[in-house]
Amino acid sequence: MVPIRELQKMITAEIRSQSEILTGREPKELYAPVEYSLGMGGKRLRPVLLLMAFNMFSDEIEKALPAAVAVEVFHNFTLLHDDIMDRAQMRRNKPTVHKQFNINNAILSGDAMAFLSYRYLMKCRSKQLSGIISLFTETALEVCEGQQYDMDFEKRQDVTEAEYLEMIRLKTAVLLGCSLKAGAMLANSTKQKARQLYEFGINLGLAFQLQDDLLDTFGNQETFGKKIGGDIVANKKTYLLIKALEKASPGQRKELTDWITQKEFKPAEKIIAVSDLYNELEIKKLTEQKIDSYFNVASQLLNLFPLEKAIKKPLKELSERMLKRNN
Amino acid sequence: MVPIRELQKMITAEIRSQSEILTGREPKELYAPVEYSLGMGGKRLRPVLLLMAFNMFSDEIEKALPAAVAVEVFHNFTLLHDDIMDRAQMRRNKPTVHKQFNINNAILSGDAMAFLSYRYLMKCRSKQLSGIISLFTETALEVCEGQQYDMDFEKRQDVTEAEYLEMIRLKTAVLLGCSLKAGAMLANSTKQKARQLYEFGINLGLAFQLQDDLLDTFGNQETFGKKIGGDIVANKKTYLLIKALEKASPGQRKELTDWITQKEFKPAEKIIAVSDLYNELEIKKLTEQKIDSYFNVASQLLNLFPLEKAIKKPLKELSERMLKRNN
């Protein structure tokens, strides 16, 4: 089995070589933001998952590289457009694309990236290609639906836990599931195995997004790469906020609701006040328990997955690393 | 051969039935702008071209309907995003999507439409499907490139005629060519015939875009559906402006350049002043001649196309109608 670090190297090299091809293309104003976005780095999680799933059934990893690039380019497209919609200023400790260039650039170069992801996908030689394109297209639509729910929820005060979990399933988890399933399909796995890996990806993705929510409030800005407290400022209906509203005493609920409905406020003050309430209500512990429960389902699914332990090891390691269970 | 009117009816019915499916889908905030956009009407030119090309080789038109919907949905996606970038307020005599809803809606629902167009395309049962998806993807990227050039040109004063023609080839003509070629491919035409129809589409598209530029200044607001003079206000480097700058006397050039570089101006005054200059320089006639030349190449290509006259008649009629040569 090819180790994680090797897979990441292969992906980085492939993305760099694809970026260099784009450098030569005109108009530069369209392709420079694409390059900037792909050059921002990141964990390359989705392409790694795709290659790992592929590698469980085949050693010819280079055959899956175009699809790996496709899911990473698609993921970066969603970041470009989400950052415009969320007015985010920073991503991976760098200015977001619409800050570095402008909003029109971020819209149009984002569009180009959506189509570039299909171009990369089409480079795969596989009998399963049409099935993979359908999976990818349905996933892309689900990701759009998830982003819409996320925005809608900002204006609502009555979002339930179930609604929130469905939103993050769509916004985050399905692309992890899709990456794994596409990797398996490309390697001609059985349909059932591809489906099982998708399920594993969904649970991993739910745990991962819950952790992202947790880090947005309780993380370290440098390692997190975004401003801490952004979710609080934007009234994002995260698991943290939903649970806090649920557990709060009448007094605490009033304080929380006042902060959410306040039109004028100092961001730093709001972040401190809401974090304090989260601490009083032990929201961090509660969220960690929820993360654990999804992580445990994912681990269980992987344990039961009908392949040798050695073959499943990289995926096990990666999921532990993603959720910081490796120390 | 199925007449134009019948094809339009089939497309309208198909789009309506697809829209009704979307009405049932959640989140409504994502799909309502899609429905609004598809319900705005329009000439349905691209799907008609696709069905006509298909019908030249096959009578089973219903087999090509999903692809026809795909090119129309894609076209409407580009309108949504272009209208944000161009800050257009009106389209087909109705508020643009970002005016009727908001900018975030127009970005995200536009994205969803891009992926919906692939979903429709994937519904086609054809051995040529992977070739058609590649053609569609490359075309989509070219359309993005055309839009980028169009925006870049607004800031430049030295755009040449050749640069302008390449821009409209990318922004408008390739999608007409793609629609025709995809229709032919779906009906299993020879590669050569599909290529010839693409060339016909390019020339038709160039003539069509030049005419659109002409109508933006010299058209009737009600039949045109957009505000007259929008290109003049936005300093769009149209064929009209490029030719005017080329033909102007030093005095006329100074007047034109003053209007282009002026930051503060009354739109109505600018439109009248620039139109007057166009009249002095006989730009309308010049543009009509250019339209004629592309229309003649397209007609010639269709005449030489190796199929019976009766089979080519609908396409001939449509191109005459598009360019108002039918009276």
Mutate to test the interface with A, among B111, B147, B150 (most CBs of A within 10 A): B111
- For A260-285, the DSSP string reads HH-SS--HHHHHHHHHHHHHHTTHHH
The stretch A105-120 carries a mean pLDDT of 98
Can you tell me whether residue A47 is helix, strand or coil?
helix
User: Could you say which DSSP state residue A225 is in?
Assistant: -
For A156-180, the pLDDT digits (tens) are 989 999 999 999 999 999 999 999 9
* pLDDT surpassing 70 at residue B326: no
Can you tell me whether residue B227 is helix, strand or coil?
coil
Instruction: Please say whether the beta carbons of A84 and A103 come within 8 A.
Output: yes
pLDDT number for residue B42? 87
Which of A27, A110, A119 is nearest residue B145 as measured by Cβ atoms?
Answer: A27
pLDDT-derived band at A35 (thresholds 50, 70, 90) equals very high
| Contact criterion met (CB < 8 Å) for A140 and B104 | no
The stretch A76-88 carries a mean pLDDT of 96
Burial of B321 (0-12, 13-18, 19+ CB in 10 A): middle
∠ CA A30-A34-A35 to the nearest 5 degrees? 115
Cβ neighbors of B109 (< 8 A, separation 6 or more) are B30, B31, B32, B33, B34, B37, B80, B97, B101
Q: Name residues 64-93 of chain B within 8 A of A (Cβ).
A: 81, 84-85
Task: Give the H/E segment covering residue B212.
Answer: helix B191-218
Is residue B144 within 8 angstroms of chain A, CB to CB? yes
ipTM attached to this prediction: 0.96
| Contact criterion met (CB < 8 Å) for A119 and B129 | no
Is residue B145 within 8 angstroms of chain A, CB to CB? yes
Which of A133, A145, A148 is nearest residue B133 as measured by Cβ atoms?
Answer: A133
User: Crossing angle, helix B65-85 and helix B28-38, to 10 degrees?
Assistant: 100
pLDDT number for residue B20? 87
CA distance A326 to A82: 31
For chains A and B, CB pairs below 8 A equal 102
Which of B26, B111, B149 is nearest residue A114 as measured by Cβ atoms?
Answer: B111
**Residues, chain A:** 327
| Contact criterion met (CB < 8 Å) for A122 and B145 | no
For B187-224, the pLDDT digits (tens) are 999 999 999 999 999 999 999 999 999 999 999 877 77
Q: Which residue has the tokens 């009276």?
A: B327
Which of A85, A104, A144 is nearest residue B85 as measured by Cβ atoms?
Answer: A104
